[in-house]
Amino acid sequence: MKIAILTDSSFDGNMNEFKDLFKVPLMITRDNGQQIKDDENLSYDDFYKMLEVEKLKTSQTIPEEMLNKWDALLKDYDQVIVALLSKGLSGQYNTAVMLANDEPYKGKIIVIDTNGVSVVLSRIIEKITEMINDGKDGYEIKEVIESKTNKDFRGFIIPKNLEVLKRGGRIKPAAAALAKLLKITPILRYDGEIDKFDTTRTFKKAIKESIEQIKKECPEADTIDISYSKSEQSLMDQVKELVLESGMKIGKFDQLSNVIATHTGTETFALMCWLS
């Protein structure tokens, strides 16, 4: 059986590292209402120029584009495993499930609840690829991912720059101003959804506390995966050094996808570990 994997632009890994992996773009909406596909035509520099001055929003892949991609892939593949952005962050998953229930796609389009985004999604796609290579079909793979893998990680998001969170209404301006004055950095937990975990004084302390919490929650793990939005090299080096000084190794070190950076802003780091 020949199986393709289809993800979306919340995936921030290297597409070339995976065989038979394809991607559809999520959408980014500008202040003037213009919708832009989050694909290879949206450059890193252009995205961050917009993010600096506009209150960007994100939305799902256009359904017609999703269906067209399925139709094209099914000409060459027996099944397509659809591994998208976490349903806790978007309606993308639920829409795909609804579309996959149409008769032409039953038994051929298998939509998996990944619980993932960014490096979590990359690791899940690695797992899917391994199982395809082992001869498992789409339904067997769905069972493994949804019964175990998509719950097998722990992670924290640390935004150093609160400007985009303030602009998007996720943190009140007065609270953002106080946090800046007192050098307070929030720590957010990621488990398929994003929730507040803690606050600390200084970004460095937030990274260190997140690493220590990861070591408590993933006691058998020796590796931390990292995603980052646009940051100075010195800041990225500092985060790497803090991880290595803790005795942990660095696994993936990938640029945070545009659709997530749209909501978190620049100088944001996500640290993830796996239970097994």
**Torsion angles phi and psi, residue 63, rounded to 5:** -50, -40
- Written as six digits, the tokens of 184 are 């307070």
pLDDT at 184: 65
The CATH architecture to which 153-274 belongs is 2-Layer Sandwich (3.30)
**For residue range 237-247, what is the model confidence (pLDDT) as tens digits?**
999 999 999 99
pLDDT at 19: 87
pLDDT tens digits for range 167-184: 444 444 444 444 454 456
Closest listed residue to residue 217, CA positions, set 160, 272, 174, 144:
272
Percent of the chain whose predicted confidence (pLDDT) is above 90: 74
pLDDT at 212 over 90: yes
Token pair belonging to 65: 């584009």
Calculate mean pLDDT across residues 95-116. 95
- Burial (CB < 10 A; 0-12, 13-18, 19+), residue 175, is middle
pLDDT of residue 160: 79
Residue listed under structure tokens 């800046």:
180
Q: Per-domain residue ranges for the chain?
A: 3-26+61-149, 153-274
For residues 142-149, give the mean pLDDT. Answer: 96
Sorted by sequence, the CB contacts under 8 Å of residue 229 that are 6+ apart come out as 255, 256, 260, 261, 264, 265, 266, 267, 268, 269
Amino acid letter at 67? L
DSSP bridge pairs for 156: 189, 271
Task: Please count the helices (runs of H) and the strands (runs of E) in the chain.
Answer: 10, 13
Q: Tell me how far apart the alpha carbons of residues 276 and 267 are, in angstroms, rounded to a whole number.
A: 29
How sure is the predictor about 187, in pLDDT bands with cuts at 50, 70 and 90? Answer: confident
Question: What CATH architecture does domain 3-26+61-149 belong to?
Answer: 3-Layer(aba) Sandwich (3.40)
Question: 92-100 and 63-73 are packed helices; what angle lies between their axes, rounded to 10 degrees?
Answer: 50
